[in-house]
Amino acid sequence: MTDALVIGAGPAGLMAAEALARAGRQVTVAEAMPSPARKLLMAGKSGLNLTKSEPFETFLAAYGNAAPHLRPMLTSFGPVGVQDWARELGQDLFTGSTGRVFPTAMKASPLLRAWLARLDAMGVTLNRRWRWTGWKGEAVTFDTPEGPQTLRPVVTVLACGGASWARLGSDGAWAGWTPGTAPFQPSNAAIAVPWTDHMTAHFGSPLKSVEWRAGNLSSRGEAVISARGLEGGGLYTLTPALRDGAGLHVDLVPDLSPENLIARLPASRKKGLSHWLKTTLRLPPAKVALFFEMTKGPAPLPQSDWVRSLKSLPIRNATLRPMDEAISTAGGLRFDALDDQLMLRDRPGSFAAGEMLDWEAPTGGYLLTACLATGLWAGQHAARYGR
């Protein structure tokens, strides 16, 4: 009989495996992909944002409605714990001006190599290309390169990820046989906008010093104009409101008040809208192009609408990109289907962690920190199960 089984070799699964091994359990990790932690490696290509250095209550608030459920895990292993853990793996860290914490090496690969080496030294077995296919009574079944396999572990930690980036291993297939699962929805998603040819020259251009709004949410982060629409951290935090059907608006000059703008309107009709935007306000070309893209119509925009449109420009025909392209997902195993140890109420001895739980958080270190924290929590409690 297998002692301790972890399904999924992402950050949550590897953290659970380490906790189990430290407690003296014989640990087997089953990973569906040819190599572990592919999503972590992909996220680290542009700089691995490990966590966020800020007051704990501010940090916790980023998890919204899931904050009360995650509080015990993040209190036990939060931003400070993540930093200490990374340093133990030989990673020097630095904190950016916004409080985001990165390895000095920036990439995820050095940290992952050190982590896998430590797990290997602890006796953790990693089975690659083992795809979980469900339960058969008390047994756990897999498709593997050697054919179907069945394990009967004493304890199991599920860390299968959400339902985005299926090519990296998170396809959400497990929801089909796991009770207590809320439907998946995109989180931290890019925006699809059907541009006209007018915008082609601005693909790849950043939109900085803007404020995005959707419903009761707002963000001062930047975004980039892409061939398919808009993407960037400034938009990702608005995903919950956009999922609920709220329209997307942008203030292209958030540091200028309406009164200031009105005072700077041209007195002469010879100086039109384009002159005002480019010369008086000195907006960069990408902002000017976006303004005209969203206000074009059969007649020129009257001066009485210039300020209103500039301060609350509607992004017409904006929709969320497909869920599989989202950085993360909402939905998954509901907290009411788990006890306070993250054990499934309907399946004693089976615990769950990471993105397969029903929570979401913005980018900026929050996602990774909660995956590590819930993985550690589930692993520690699984290690004590039955003893």
The CATH number of residue 346's host domain is: 3.50.50.60
Which of 320, 350, 365 terminates a domain? The answer is 320
Q: Tell me: pLDDT of 238 over 70.
A: yes
pTM of the model: 0.94
Nearest to 140 by CA among 6, 25, 12: 6
SS3 for 223? strand
CB 355 within 8 A of CB 165: no
**80 in the same domain as 29:** yes
Judgement on whether residues 134 and 81 belong to the same structural domain of the protein: yes
- Distance, C-alpha 139 to centroid of its chain: 32
pLDDT at 297 over 90: no
368 and 273, same domain (yes or no): no
Last residue of one domain, picked from the residues 290, 320, 350: 320
Amino acid at 200: T
Q: What is the domain range of residue 207?
A: 191-320
Provide the pLDDT for residue 1: 67
Same domain, 269 and 213: yes
Same-domain pairing of 164 and 304: no
- Count how many domains the chain has: 2
Residues 65 and 129 in one domain: yes
3-state secondary structure at position 386 = coil
Instruction: Name the 3-class secondary structure at 105.
Output: coil
Instruction: Say yes or no to pLDDT of 131 above 80.
Output: yes
Which long-range contacts does 293-296 make (Cβ < 8 Å, 24+ apart)? 293/195, 293/196, 293/198, 293/199
- How confident is the model over 74-93, as pLDDT tens digits? 999 999 999 999 999 999 99
Last residue of a domain, one of 320, 344, 374: 320
Same structural domain, 354 and 281: no
Same domain, 294 and 246: yes
Helix axes 11-22, 366-384, angle to 10 degrees: 30
pLDDT at 386: 79
**Cα dihedral 351, 353, 357, 363 in deg (nearest 10):** 180
pLDDT of residue 269: 67
Quote the radius of gyration of the chain (alpha carbons, Å).
Answer: 24
178, 195: one domain: no
